[in-house]
Chains A and B, each alone.
Chain A
Amino acid sequence: MRVSPGASARAMSVDLTTVKKIAGLARLAVSDAEAEALVPELNGILHWVEQLGEVDVTGVEPMTAVIPNTLRLRDDVVTDGNVRDKVLANAPQAEHGFFAVPKVIE
């Protein structure tokens, strides 16, 4: 099970622009220096996982449930609620029984 980084039939790699775009999608503020450091790190990991491309998966369905299990339906009744203060108990800022956030409409 020796795993050799780098072997890849279809090397895709990320550049600084892509890293910044991904950080934006992930809602992570990154400085230019952090983004630059992430480029080789992510490429190292991505090139390593690309060995999965070697595996013949013809006719194989992607796994959706690791243990066969049917999703249950429960009775359509209220089982929870009336816990506003508990829900708000850990909020960084709660006002008048609501979560408070910076103004979103100018």
Chain B
Amino acid sequence: MAELTDLTVAQIRDGFRAGDFSAREVAEAFNANVAAAKVLNAFIVETPEHALAAADQADRDRAAGTLRPLSGVPIGMKDLFCTQGVQTTAASHMLEGFTPTYESTVSQKLWDAGAGMLGKLNLDQFAMGSSNETSYFGNVISPWRRGAGDNAPLAPGGSSGGSSSAIAARLCPAATGTDTGGSIRQPAAFTGISGIKPTYGRCSRWGIIAFASSLDQAGPMARTVRDCAIMLENMAGFDPKDATSLELPVPKWEAGLSSDLKGRKVGIPREYRVEGLDGDVARVWDDGVAWLKDAGAEIVEVSLPHSKYALPAYYIIAPAEASSNLARYDGVRYGLRDLPDGANLQEMYAATRAAGFGPEVKRRIMIGTYVLSAGFYDAYYTQAQKVRALIARDFARAFEQCDVILAPTAPSAAFALGDKTADPLSMYLNDVFAVPASLAGLPAMSVPGGLTQGGLPLGLQIIGPAFDEQAVLNAGLAIEERAGFTARPEKWW
């Protein structure tokens, strides 16, 4: 039998049910992998006892015939989800030591479904970053290497870089992520795994540390499309505690999986075929087109004319919302307090925030405060929200001609840590293909498409109309079946 840690979520679930192994064996195997991979720095907190307790419960439930959808499956939890009694930091110094007295809706749903927690996964600080280099708790390192003796540590993507690194390294079979402007899809692409951001509102934001509330959306990351469907079914659902939660039933996405795309139309957005597009990225995109055609789909060219404005609009809207959301960190109610000798209340606020936030977080708070300030609000924020409406309209028009859109996930494969830290703009450009779907609130996923000439993973992105995660998953499955992506990082850690 394959090693337990090589199994997918579906294989663990089904093998456990069939009695091939116990849940405790699975949890112990993953706990051991987590403990042996500290050099990747994927976890901020490890919780082997949580995973074992859930596993023992699953073993008892199996004996009693009361199995739940994720019984026996241990997962990783991005450290942006509040977990009762377990430190939750958003990878910031500001929240170091913060121990929630409540549980996020999404994590509670996963525990209710029988899943166990292997630990809290590292991320970019407050989910702001595309390389996991802004964490107060240190960089996450991708298990992938360029090979041929080049051992430069590579970025696992961000902000869900702990999640992507841990899954690719077989430290967990699946993990939660959150996606504000590509933070599930880009790290999935960088590490050769899958991840889906559902329609805005599918997963409750309650208990997820807020970055940009009109964009933040939780979703799963795993090695297969089926595993993403299983996880998403157990994360999504209406929650009265989130005012923007969708009051819709959760579809049976796993049961609905079908890679037969006969009668389906796949749109290729001409504006994404940018001048100077990376040759490997273009090749894998062409492969994706051929695979979807092979699955029975008709390929049509579509136009998303405002695509080039998505990224600048995002870098007004997201910082504006962040500056407002992060105003709560004041050194009074929770988190860090920095009180210099003789400081008054205002000075305490400013000192606390200066000490608690990292440079990228401060940069975004500053940008957000500026674009919302008197005299600039209309020129920046209102204009950006109008452009956002046009971007959403572009997608609505495109989906009159096609069922899903196929595009690259990111403009390149993983880069080395440190390569893009000197220039914030060059880092932001990583999300150029991911941000438009975020601004429009649409479901979008990344699946592995192939490798660069140098042997690093590249992702293909599928974007669907609002509420149609099934179409996205099905196109992803059609690609997965044809891409035959079996590459995995050679173990060095």
Contact = CB atoms under 8 A, between A and B. Distances in A.
Interface of A: 1-3, 5, 10, 12, 14, 18-19, 22-30, 38, 41-42, 44-46, 48-55, 57, 60-67, 69, 71-72, 74, 83, 86-87, 89-93, 99, 101-104
29 contacts: A1-B271, A1-B432, A2-B275, A12-B379, A14-B370, A22-B369, A25-B369, A26-B353, A28-B354, A28-B366, A29-B353, A38-B363, A42-B363, A49-B312, A52-B384, A53-B383, A55-B306, A55-B387, A62-B382, A62-B385, A63-B385, A65-B214, A65-B244, A66-B215, A66-B439, A67-B244, A87-B333, A90-B99, A101-B332
Interface in B64-79: none
B213 to A, nearest CB: 10
Interface in B370-395: 370, 373, 376, 379-380, 382-390, 392
B462 interface: no
A51 B379 CA distance: 11
Nearest to A18: B370
B418 interface: no
Contacts of B357: 28
Given A52-B309, A102-B343, A26 B98 contact: no
Contacts of B343: 102
Nearest to A100: B332
Contacts of B125: none
Contacts of A14: 370
Given A27-B349, A91-B333, A57 B315 contact: no
Contacts of A92: 331-332, 334-337
Contacts of B193: none
B389 A3 contact: no
Given A5-B425, A52-B383, 15 more contacts: A22-B370, A22-B373, A26-B353, A27-B349, A45-B424, A62-B385, A64-B385, A69-B201, A71-B243, A72-B247, A90-B101, A92-B334, A92-B335, A99-B332, A104-B344
Contacts of B92: none
A22 B376 CA distance: 12
Nearest to A74: B240
Main DSSP-derived SS at the A contact region: loop
B65 to A, nearest CB: 35
A63 B348 contact: no
A48 B98 contact: no
Interface in B336-369: 336-337, 339, 343-351, 353-354, 357, 362-363, 365-367, 369
Size category of the binding interface on chain B: 35 or more
Contacts of B102: 86
B369 A26 contact: yes
B199 interface: yes
A50 B330 CA distance: 31
A52 B337 contact: no
A14 B348 CA distance: 26
Interface string B186-225: 0000000000000111000000000000110000000000
Contacts of A49: 312-313, 315-316, 380, 384
Contacts of B441: 66-67
B339 A102 contact: yes
Given A25-B369, A52-B309, A52-B313, A12 B350 contact: no
A2 B433 CA distance: 11
B479 interface: no
Interface string B410-444: 00000000000000110001001100000111000
A1 B278 CA distance: 13
Contacts of B362: 28
A26 B325 CA distance: 12
A41 B424 contact: yes
Contacts of B346: 27
